[in-house]
Amino acid sequence: MKQINFFILVLFISTANAQQKDESLLISYTGQFNSLFGRGEEFRPYQAWLHIKGDQSLFTMKPLHSNAEQNNMMTVDLPIDSLFTVYKDMESNSLLFEFMDLDQRSHFYADTLYPMNWVITNEKKNINGVDCIKAVTLFKGREYIAWYDSLVQIPNGPWKLGGLPGLILEAYDKEENWHVVANNISNQADIDFSFHRSLMNKPIKGYAAYSADIKKIFSAIEGMMAAQQTGDCLTCETKSTLKINTWEPIY
């Protein structure tokens, strides 16, 4: 298993177990993401935040620096995929995730809140002074491992993960292409979820529509590439193959 080192400077204890209904918490995570998942290794450091207020939460994940290197493969990677911004509303059993298209336009799609079936194990480990329990699930073709604090009875966690009897402090997929670890829990100033809540009152397309929209984008790119290749090429002996890569499967 790949070893991922995190420089976690802030130790914390479980202060969230006393959370009141309207109290706002901020859980900070550090982590890494392999943008070449399934094809190679290109790990980049990320910072992530989980804002929680009552039954609502917002998870965001941002790279700590830009990626200047370009690989030689003909690939299309969506820099801000369904992995990076997720809003949850447990009261209405709703989940929204953000997708940024190639023109950096924002789109929101709905998905099922906590559909994963967790297997809770007997394994335990200490994360920054907090004893955590290991749980495993298979979600959309990937196996995820989560370590949660059973004393903080908030069934939430990074990204779309949640539904465990405690707050998830560490999470990663089996291959560790994506890996985040909490390094601080603190109270925060009141967070405003009004924008995301307003989206709930609008027609929001589901995951099937997300898959269809992604396919349309890739089809358009393939068409443009095919037109470029047929230009003045009289003796072309090779053809470029466009590879489509998204974190979650496109059906």
pLDDT, tens digit, 9 for 90 and up, residues 137-162:
999 999 999 999 999 999 999 999 99
Share of the chain above pLDDT 90, in %: 56
Q: What is the pLDDT of residue 249?
A: 87
Q: Which of 78-92, 93-107, 218-232 has the highest mean pLDDT?
A: 93-107
Mean pLDDT (whole number) for 43-68: 88
With vertex at residue 193, the alpha carbon angle to CA 187 and CA 196, rounded to the nearest 5 degrees, is 145
40: left (phi over 0), alpha (psi -120 to 50) or beta: left
Higher-confidence residue of 175 and 79: namely 175
User: In the chain, what are the domains?
Assistant: 19-245 (2.50.20)
Q: Who contacts 148 (Cβ-Cβ below 8 Å, separation ≥6)? A: 132, 133, 135, 157, 164, 165, 166, 167, 168, 169
CA distances from 104 to 21, 178, 211, 224 (A): 35, 22, 18, 19
Q: What is the pLDDT of residue 104?
A: 78
- Structure tokens, 49: 């935040």
| Overall pTM surpassing 0.85 (yes/no) | no
Q: Who contacts 226 (Cβ-Cβ below 8 Å, separation ≥6)? A: none
Q: What is the pLDDT of residue 251?
A: 79
Mean pLDDT (whole number) for 207-223: 87
Q: In the beta sheet, which residues pair with residue 139?
A: 142
pLDDT at 240 over 60: no
Cβ-count burial 89-128 (b if 16+ within 10 Å, e if not):
bbeeebbbbbbeeeeeeeebbbbebbebebebeeeeeebb
